[in-house]
Amino acid sequence: MPCQSYHESKGISFDQLWEFPPVTVFIGIFITGENSEIRQILRSLYRSQQKTLIGDRVEYRFIMGKPASPDLQIRLDIEQEAYGDLVILNITENLNKGKGLAYWKWVAKTYAGIPENKSLLVAKADSDIFIHLQNLALNLRPLTPKYLYYGHERKKPGGGWRTGILFILSMDYVEWIGKTDIPPKYIRGPEDVRVWDWLNWGNLPK
């Protein structure tokens, strides 16, 4: 299913995207532990799409904070045993109080430093959107996996952040976040804006 993209403005048609090398993408879907029905819907949709990917590899995990009750912990344990696609961060479930940083630190700890992951592209997505996995991968194919900060840009003086509904970082950014002590003033607040703040504070290329 063709979609309009950034590449059309660069003179690359949808059909031409297939000529570029395949990519590997990891998507962390932010969700709370209680939203099991949403997870089941997305799980069904994404698992069926994974089977039809042509060349590309797209993996996903549901990202949540620590469960608020023993009952929820039990239910999540059962769900994890059945599907194996949950990641419970070592942080209390929250909105804009450090969950974003905890996620990127987890990604760095899990995937950084492994040679075959050098070109891995890592996404953060909301749970109230549906991603067409093949189209996402195709649109990422022509982009160099070095200092890549990809997503819908919200303009501001000097540049702009990529909105939290879906954005992607290359592994060099992820590795930097993993080994960097982010100042406390840049931890709380809208997690998509904070990522932009980190890259600016670190004076990283974008």
CB 61 within 8 A of CB 28: yes
21 three-class SS = coil
Distances (CA, A) of 158 to 154, 155, 196, 200, 206: 11, 8, 11, 10, 11
Q: Which region, left, alpha or beta, applies to residue 203 given φ > 0 means left and ψ of -120 to 50 means alpha?
A: left
Query: Cβ distance 168 to 175 under 8 Å?
Result: no
Give the model confidence (pLDDT) of 87-117 as tens digits.
Answer: 999 999 998 999 999 999 999 999 998 988 9
Q: H-helix or E-strand containing 189?
A: none
* All domains of the chain in start order, with CATH: 6-201 (3.90.550)
Looking at the predicted structure, is the pLDDT value of residue 164 above 70? no
- pLDDT for 158: 54
Give 51-75 pLDDT, tens digit per residue. 999 999 999 999 999 999 999 999 9
Q: What's the pLDDT at 191?
A: 82
More confident residue, 11 or 78: 78
The C-alpha angle 26, 154, 204, rounded to 5 degrees, equals 65
Question: Tell me: the pLDDT tens digits for 173-191?
Answer: 999 999 999 999 999 988 8
Residue ranges with strand state E in 75-186: 86-92, 121-126, 149-156, 159-170
Mean pLDDT of the chain: 91
pLDDT band at 85 (very low <50, low <70, confident <90, very high): very high
User: What pLDDT score was predicted for residue 205?
Assistant: 79
The pLDDT tens digits for 2-15 are: 455 678 778 888 89
Which of 98, 29, 33 lies closest to 67, judged by CA?
33
pLDDT of residue 1: 39
Task: Average the pLDDT over 116-127 and give the result.
Answer: 95
Q: Give the whole-angstrom CA distance, residue 158 versus residue 160.
A: 7
